[in-house]
Amino acid sequence: MSEIGVCIETFFSDLDYEKRIERIYRIGFKSYEFWFHNARFDGKKLIDEPKDFDMIAELNEKFNLKVSDFVFNHPDGGIMASLIDKHDRNKILDNLEEMISFAKKLDCKQLISASGNKKKDIGKEEAIENMIETLLLTMKICEREDITLLLEPWNTKVDHPDCFLDDPEIALKVLKEVNHKNAKMLYDIYHMQIMKGNVTSFIQENIQYIGHFHIAGVPGRNEPVNCELNYQYIVREIDKTGYKGLIGLEYWPTMDHKESLKKTMTLFK
């Protein structure tokens, strides 16, 4: 099966990142991801705190771990700029190379990009066009630096009511217009099950546009077991497409975090 990674923001949130990384190594993971370069999630809220990329790089070497991705731009952290607002375009472009330099310290090849929140003065078609134009400009830098931007749609029914991009078909339209190997979709199965369903068919038909997956149980965003989605089946179908990327666990554990991850990992063995 595809390699399973873990988001270290939603696990062991009472620990510093050094201890979190060691914990996931001890459990048996080889890959992980995190959210923001400039904030720590303590289980309840984000705290302004720059990540120590040198320390993370040393731990990765020590434990033979890799970082699959982290967040570039987002309404809550990272570079707080919106793809849908052309007035944020320079902020995105001006900060992209610094974010790539952080990624290169970790030999990380992918950055997550949110669309931004809806704005009353930006209509749907204008927002889509702005996303396309901004991503096209970022591709010049991403191609040169061998970095992929992962465009992530979210659900607006439960978790992110203000987000513009909540439809995988719109994300697909944007990516087809950008038409570049360094622009892919982060297909979060939890979010997209809530918004659209039909996740297996969408994956099978559009795998060439998907660069990363997130999974969590639906409903609740907890362990991906005993929920309305058969993740063993979904991951097997992902494997059949020839997908070579990672699948990230990004959920809120309902039990001891170590036991939760061990229980989840047995699902995919």
Residue 142: partners with Cβ closer than 8 Å, 6 or more residues away: 96, 100, 148, 149, 180, 182, 183
**Amino acid letter, residue 219:** P
In whole angstroms, what is the distance from residue 115 CA to residue 128 CA? Answer: 9
Known catalytic residue at 152: yes
Q: What are phi and psi for residue 254, nearest 5 degrees?
A: -100, 0
**Which of the 8 DSSP states describes residue 83?**
T
Q: Token pair 């099950």 is at which residue?
A: 193
Set 152, 177, 228, 259: catalytic member: 152
Set 9, 33, 223, 250: catalytic member: 250
| Alpha carbon of residue 95 to chain centroid | 19
| Catalytic sites, residue numbers | 152, 250
